[in-house]
Each structure stands twice: as structure tokens, then as C-alpha cells.
Structure 1
Amino acid sequence: MGDLKKIIGERIRNFRKDKGLSQEELAHMSKLHSTYIGQLERGEKNATLESIEKVANALNISLETLFRISQPRQNENEYTLSQIVTQLQARSIKDQKFILELIDLLLDWKGK
């Protein structure tokens, strides 16, 4: 159970940082205390479903997105791809399209 708290906490932190929010801003938006947000991010607190829903709503992500956990696989390529997908899920569609264009440019530059 401790690992799950840490994984979810890390995902909350990543989504928060990707949105350019401080813990205090996320706390205000989710109507939770900033100390509680810090404890969630560090995996120190067992969050209630209500609190998790408030955080997800404040981050403008679905609960499915928050809980979608990619486990490392033996195949390093699959793991790397799952990490890329996880990072992109936190971004807007506009950002995702921009990043895709950058990937295309980089692949063209490298010679695919």
C-alpha cells in the first residue's frame, strides 16, 4: 500500500508541476490544505476518494488519468514509451500536438 501512495503522490506532483502550480495554488483550487497536498505528494497520507477527486478536478484531469499507472516492464522500450505517454497525458491537446511536431522534426533531423 505504501508504494501506491508514493506513486499516486508522485503523479499528483508531476501533474501539478506540469500545470505550473504551486502546492498552495493546488490546495486553494481543490479546497484542501497545502500541508495535506504536500503529504499526499510525498506519499505520507492515505487520501480519501473525495480528496483525490478534488485534486483531480483542480488539475483538470480524470481519475482514470491520475490512476493510470504504467508498471515497468522487462522490455525497456515499452517502459520508455509508457513514460512518454504518462508525461504527455498531463499536457493540453495543443501541447501534445506541438510535442508531436517536435518529435517529427527530431526524427527527420536524425534520419529516422
Structure 2
Amino acid sequence: MRGRVYLPQDELALAGLSDEDIFAGKVTDKWRNFMKSQIKRARMFFDEAEKGVMELNEQSRWPILDEIEANDYNNFTKRAYVSKTKKLLSLPLAYARSMIPPSRKLSHA
């Protein structure tokens, strides 16, 4: 981390966390709750972004967030990593779906 915290300080404070907690690198319930809210917001932004991007199938959307959750929100000592194999396996279906004209896709609304 090199002595830097790139997290919203006001939201850390609301979650009862400090920079010292981050530097300690412990996955606590406070950290999990903080990360859950950050991931929820990230998914909301990603969902908004998808409205302007050709749709991808569920498995190829933002798999990094799923990996953080699968690691029990421990991004202190575990790397959220999506393997090349997993990425490559999702490409054919994602590409095929991108070729469908927007008027033929199902609405998510």
C-alpha cells in the first residue's frame, strides 16, 4: 500500500474504520460490511455503464467483484484474480451476444 489509503475517508469513518485499520490488514466484520457497500455501489455503476455498452452474459460481467466476495472480502492478503482460462471461456458467448442487434435483446427493466 506504500502508506496510502485510496478509500473514501468519510465512508471509512461511517463504517467505524480508520487508516490504521486498513494498514493492519485484518478482515473484520466492519471491513466486510464496508466492502459489501463498496461492491454494491460498484455493481450499480457497472450496471449503469452497461446501458451504454453492448450486453455481455452474466458470467463475463465484472468477475473481479465476485472474486473479492469469494475471498471473504480479504483483499489485504488475497489477490482477487480472474484466470485467463475463465476470461477466455467467457469470450465466445460474450462476443456472440454482442452481435445481436439491441432491438432483439431482452430488456432488463
Structure 1 or 2: more helix by fraction: 1
Q: Over alpha carbons, which structure has the higher Rg?
A: 2
Whether TM exceeds 0.5 here: the answer is no
- Given the two structures, how large is their TM-score scaled by the length of structure 2? 0.29
